[in-house]
Chains A and B, each alone.
Chain A
Amino acid sequence: MASITYKGHEFEVDEDGFLLRFDDWNPDWMEYVKDSEGITDITPDHQKILDFLQDYYRKNGIAPMVRILSKNTGFKLKEVYELFPSGPGKGACKMSGLPKPTGCV
């Protein structure tokens, strides 16, 4: 697996650029990932989604379903895609350090 050094932090990632360990996450990770996810600046709206994903993951051990994300953050799916062009899974989950989505994707 690849290892990335950014601003003095070392991040271990898989081929798709997901963190191998949630605990390795820190705010510099988001800075590092945002370009590859088509994001110029992390706005408070981005932050709201990223924070919710992390809270939910810490409490429940899984990523929330899309409609739970929408309900809790108040962002419609369309708005989530405006913020994270590759969507809540590949975009927002990756930036927030959650494990890679699995299943019949």
Chain B
Amino acid sequence: MAKHATPKLDQLESGPWPSFVSDIKQEAESRTKNPKGLDYQIPVDCPSDLLGVLELSYTDGETHWKHGGIVGVFGYGGGVIGRYCDQPEMFPGVAHFHTVRINQPAAKYYSTDFLRQICDMWDLRGSGLTNMHGSTGDIVLLGTQTAQLEEIFHEITHKMNTDLGGSGSNLRTPESCLGSSRCEYACYDAQDLCYNLTMEFQDELHRPAFPYKFKFKFDACPNGCVAAIARSDFAVIGTWKDDIRIDQAAVKAYVGGEFKPNAGAHAGRDWGKFDIVEEVVKRCPTKCMTWTGSELRINNKECTRCMHCINTMPRACRIGNERGASILLGAKAPVLDGAQMGSLLVPFIEVSEPYDEIKDLIGKIWDWWMEEGKNRERIGETMKRLSFQKLLEVTGIEAMPQHVCEPRHNPYMFFKEEEVPGGWNRDIAAYRKRHLR
């Protein structure tokens, strides 16, 4: 018998998609039965009370969590999101319901052994509920009490060799696409760079020292499987600078129908026979491809490496061999001054261990933003306020046409005084000698 009646939530148990309600009920039941005889460190009925408070919110159309919450572990300024229910008497099991962010392995490959250890710890010291994973990447342990935080931290660090993720005005938990682990488009080892920079900047991740949050994300090609361009202040996106490698025999196999276009991604509908001209050549954004009837040609000088031809004929077109990445800066959600995606800062950078060039660039950006950024101003907003030009100056990057989508159309141009013969110090009396009032 459930602790609270949940008529509205019960409706979400029907339908084909995995129901979060059924799953939470299952956990609630398991805790009641307690088959392993655990000495639960937070209320047994925590998941039941969570369903209760959620049902109340469904009825009221309002959240029932109090504002904010500041809890954590000694030594760190972030990692835990404190939360308290605003009806603690009705739902004592979630009076405290803090969330713990755990730093996940890059691209989220796990062994069952590791996950089992996390679950055993969380069954004992938490609600038994999780989010796999938070949007930033962390393993999210959903719901525990303040007294358990140091216990959890002790167990994950001492027994699982695992650390907390980031929260607050600091470097948040970085994440990457699965990169070269199982993708033939990967232009660099995104997981390795992600791991390396996460370790390099542990201090910046655990102890907030920035004007606001800052995120890294790593896509190993422009397909953007981790959406670095939209969800990270500092996006590293893989690319190449030589020619696309074409296997003409494989191209013919696509034309002949032996290979399915887009690796069969559109097999759910009849789109007719593969037409290389309609589906590839004419779709190329720069129109730099030609199909002679027997041969596919690419004018690589005009190719913007959009990935379309490679995505459509992965067995025939492959990324080049001179690989690296582009770096884009400033993506953010709308608050305060409007949404932004990353703007191209470095068109091409070598990506190889120990990644000194990238680290050096990050250092320069942080030095500038930590000094000039206003309280709660994302780097994208600092760029808007102080200008892209300033960003180029502090990073020592020379302006180039690739930095803009199009040149400015207004003439409000600033010149540096030293660029202008005579400078700004002018004598009005000298002027008046030539121009009477």
Contacts and interface: CB of A to CB of B under 8 A. Distances in A.
Q: Which of B76, B78, B208, B376 has the most CB of A within 10 A?
A: B208
A88 interface: yes
30 contacts: A15-B69, A16-B71, A18-B70, A65-B211, A65-B375, A66-B208, A66-B209, A67-B209, A67-B211, A67-B370, A77-B207, A77-B209, A78-B203, A81-B75, A81-B77, A85-B75, A86-B73, A86-B75, A86-B77, A89-B70, A90-B77, A94-B70, A100-B68, A100-B70, A101-B70, A105-B68, A105-B69, A105-B70, A105-B78, A105-B82
A27 interface: no
Nearest to B169: A66
B324 interface: no
Nearest to B376: A103
Interface in B256-291: none
A52 B303 CA distance: 57
Chain B interface residue count: which class?
A: 20 to 34
B188 to A, nearest CB: 30
Interface in A71-105: 77-78, 81, 85-90, 94, 100-105
A61 interface: no
Main secondary structure of the interface of B (DSSP, over half): loop
Nearest to A18: B70
A85 B77 CA distance: 9
Interface of B: 66-78, 81-82, 84, 96, 167-169, 203, 207-211, 213, 370-371, 375-376
Interface centre among A90, A94, A104, A105 (most CB of B within 10 A): A105
Contacts of A16: 69-71, 82
A89 B68 CA distance: 13
A15 B74 CA distance: 18
Nearest to B73: A86
A94 B77 CA distance: 13
Interface string A8-19: 000000011010
A6 to B, nearest CB: 20
B207 A81 contact: yes
